Amino acid sequence: MEQRHVLPVGRSAGLRRLIFSDDGTLNIDALRRRLSAVEANDAGWSDDAALAGDAALVDAAVLVGIVTGPVPGVLLTQRTHTLRRHAGQVSFPGGRIDPEDAGPEAAACREAREEVGLRDSNIEVLGRLPPYVTVTGYRITPVLALLRPGFEAALSVDEVHAMFELPLTVLLDPAAPEKRRAEYQGVWREYWVWPHERYYIWGATAAILVRLAQRLRETSQVA
């Protein structure tokens, strides 16, 4: 296993001050500005898109929502263990963009409502990350949002086994994510892993979290 830090060790305290006030409370206005910022380069990206082959990509969207509670964190789910694909894996609420969806934002909110019972009134959509291309042939648009705390979860048992949060302090810790290598179909690929005491956060979900952390720490934005 090869481990690489995405930021120099020792900067986590300074990064937290970009999002948290001096008394340790969440600076929602600063967080809102960073999530709504538009990236100069919005082209699709991936760690290993070449492994997806030449097949047409399927458009999908996920809701990358930060719950603004006493301990703010990114909302994540664990898929049920009986699914045909990606069983038991950690993911964001989301799925394919249907023809009836007005766009990625509508699709992400619809999927969040269907998978975990998250109502539109609890979601403040703010922006996007550039689309992420997966090895399995999906082009995923991460939709960024703030989520009001205290909503009543209603998990779709056919799709979601559990719901949890990755604390925002972990997301802002430069020493937290690891980059690992493994052989896949005869090719060595690299992928990110985030620490959690119970769940294994890796693959596309982990890569999107890394991009989100980069967005939140961008010093060119006004905090």
Which pLDDT does position 157 carry in this prediction? Answer: 82
Which pLDDT does position 80 carry in this prediction? Answer: 82
Q: What is the pLDDT along the chain (223 residues), one digit of tens a residue?
A: 333 444 433 345 555 667 888 778 899 999 999 999 887 666 666 665 555 555 688 999 999 999 998 899 999 999 886 666 655 689 999 999 999 999 999 999 999 999 999 999 999 999 999 999 888 888 999 999 999 988 888 998 888 999 999 999 999 998 899 988 876 667 777 889 999 999 999 999 999 999 999 999 875 444 4
Domain count, the chain: 1
Domain holding 140, by residue range, is: 12-217
Q: In whole angstroms, give the CA distance from residue 186 to residue 51.
A: 11
End-to-end CA distance of the chain: 36
Domain annotation covers residue 222: no
Domain annotation covers residue 59: yes
CATH, residue 161: 3.90.79.10
Domain annotation covers residue 182: yes
Strands 187-194 and 201-202: antiparallel
Which residues of the chain form beta strands (DSSP E)? Answer: 58-67, 73-79, 90-91, 94-96, 123-128, 132-133, 138-147, 160-167, 178-184, 187-194, 201-202
C-alpha 50, offset from chain centre: 22
H-type alpha helices, 9-135? 12-19, 28-36, 104-116
Which pLDDT does position 135 carry in this prediction? Answer: 80
Task: Yes or no: say if 166 and 92 are a contact pair by the CB < 8 Å rule.
Answer: no
Q: Write phi, then psi, for 28 (nearest 5 degrees).
A: -65, -35
- Integer CA distances (angstroms), 82 to 88, 94, 138, in order: 8, 18, 21
Q: In whole angstroms, give the CA distance from residue 11 to residue 165.
A: 23
Other beta carbons within 10 Å of 77: 25
pTM of the model: 0.86
**Residues whose CB is less than 8 angstroms from the CB of residue 158 and which lie 6 or more positions away in sequence, other chains included:** 80
Domain annotation covers residue 56: yes
Domain annotation covers residue 4: no
Q: In whole angstroms, give the CA distance from residue 147 to residue 72.
A: 10
Domain annotation covers residue 114: yes
Which pLDDT does position 184 carry in this prediction? Answer: 65
Domain annotation covers residue 1: no
Which pLDDT does position 217 carry in this prediction? Answer: 83
Domain annotation covers residue 5: no
